[in-house]
Amino acid sequence: MEGISQATNIMNSAMQVATQTAQQPDSFLPASMLEQADQIKQAISANDSLQTSQSTTSGEAGTSFANMLKSLAQDVSVKSAQAGEAVQGVLAGEGVPLHQAVIAAEEASVSFQLMVEVRNKLLESYQELMRMQV
Amino acid sequence: MIRIMSGADTTVAALNAERMKLEVISQNIANANVTNTPEGGPYKRKEVVFESVMNEAFKSQDGNNETPMMVKVGKVETDETPGITIHDPNHPDADAEGNVTLSNVNIHEEMVDMIMASRAYEANLSAMKYARSMAVQTLRIGRS
Percent of chain A topping pLDDT 70: 54
What is the predicted pLDDT for the residue at A21? 47
Using a CB-CB cut-off of 8 Å, the residues of chain B touching A114 are 2, 4, 135, 139
Domain residue spans of chain B: 8-139
What is the average pLDDT across A107-122?
92
What is the average pLDDT across A107-117?
92
DSSP-derived letter for residue B121 is: H
The SS3 of residue A129 is helix
Domain residue spans of chain A: 2-131
What is the predicted pLDDT for the residue at A61? 45
Cα separation of the two ends of chain B: 29
What is the predicted pLDDT for the residue at B58? 61
- The answer to which of A22-36, A60-74, B27-41, B64-78 has the lowest mean pLDDT is A22-36
Q: Is A18 exposed, middle or buried (0-12, 13-18, 19+ CB in 10 A)?
A: buried
> Does the pLDDT value for residue A1 go beyond 90?
no
Q: Please tell me the number of Cα atoms within 13 Å of B83 on its side-chain side.
A: 23
Of B4, B6, B19, the CB nearest to A97: B19
- The answer to which of A4-18, B46-60, B101-115 has the lowest mean pLDDT is A4-18
**Chosen from A5, A68, A107 to mutate, greatest number of chain B CBs within 10 A:** A107
B8 and A CB contact within 8 Å? yes
> Does the pLDDT value for residue B101 go beyond 80?
yes
What is the predicted pLDDT for the residue at A125? 93
Please state the ipTM of this predicted complex.
Answer: 0.76
> Does the pLDDT value for residue B116 go beyond 60?
yes
Question: Is A13 within 8 Å of A40 (Cβ atoms)?
Answer: yes
pLDDT in tens, B79-95: 999 889 999 999 888 88
What is the predicted pLDDT for the residue at A43? 56
What is the predicted pLDDT for the residue at A40? 56
